Chains A and B, each alone.
Chain A
């Protein structure tokens, strides 16, 4: 019974995060302006980090959390680079 609670909430969380990623992908394709697409990419990165952490909880391995940390860093770096590029016309000055 108590194992079922954790597995059930894991399933619900995976479904919700996957649906959120699908909605972000819709905004990424649709986005009327380029900043909308950058925002959708950033949100997709955060949701992917959440999904990797959920997989790490399910598989009970601490290895995937470091992968999630690297994904969070890459997402921040790419968002900052894209915003810099849109603002200054150059990613690294």
Chain B
């Protein structure tokens, strides 16, 4: 790989940042006590991890005189879809009345539906 050393150092730095953030996201997914807290950890850290890897790939592609178009597409797709899927998972959790351990105010959560409407007990 006869690349420019600046490109190599930049790509290596991006790879290390991406590795750190994906690991932090997974540790948060394991360690946090509550589903809504666990939703927070990987949706931020994992997109930053994927973004760092793709940024390193784009830097290396530019150093090899190749347009990193597929990497740009993946980055845009991941950055657009990650909040959408997180929002839909939070909606599902609110619908299924997943227990929440944080101290939230009374009017912050929607009104509780009567239990057993949606086969809640089977899913839990």
Contact = CB atoms under 8 A, between A and B. Distances in A.
Interface of A: 2-3, 5-6, 8-10, 12-13, 15-17, 19-21, 23-24, 26-27, 33-36, 38-40, 42-43, 46-47, 49-50, 53-54, 56-57, 60, 62, 65-66, 68-69, 72-73, 76, 79-80, 82-84, 86-87, 89
Interface of B: 1, 3, 5, 8-9, 11-13, 15-16, 18-20, 22-23, 25-27, 29-30, 35, 38-39, 42, 46-47, 49-50, 53-54, 56-57, 60-61, 64, 66, 68, 70-71, 73-74, 77-78, 81-82, 84-85, 88-89, 91-93, 95-96, 98-99, 118-119, 123-124
A6 B70 contact: no
Given A38-B89, A83-B85, A57 B39 contact: no
Contact of A65 (B1, B46, B74): B74
14 contacts: A5-B9, A9-B16, A20-B26, A20-B46, A35-B35, A38-B89, A46-B82, A47-B46, A50-B22, A54-B15, A57-B11, A65-B70, A76-B85, A86-B92
A47 B22 CA distance: 8
Given A35-B89, A50-B50, A83-B88, A72 B96 contact: no
B61 to A, nearest CB: 8
A34 B89 CA distance: 10
A11 B85 CA distance: 30
Given A5-B9, A62-B66, A72-B74, A35 B92 contact: yes
A82 B70 CA distance: 27
Given A17-B23, A33-B124, 6 more contacts: A9-B11, A10-B15, A19-B23, A27-B38, A53-B57, A69-B70
Q: Which residue among A46, A53, A72 has the maximum number of chain B CB atoms within 10 Å of its CB?
A: A46
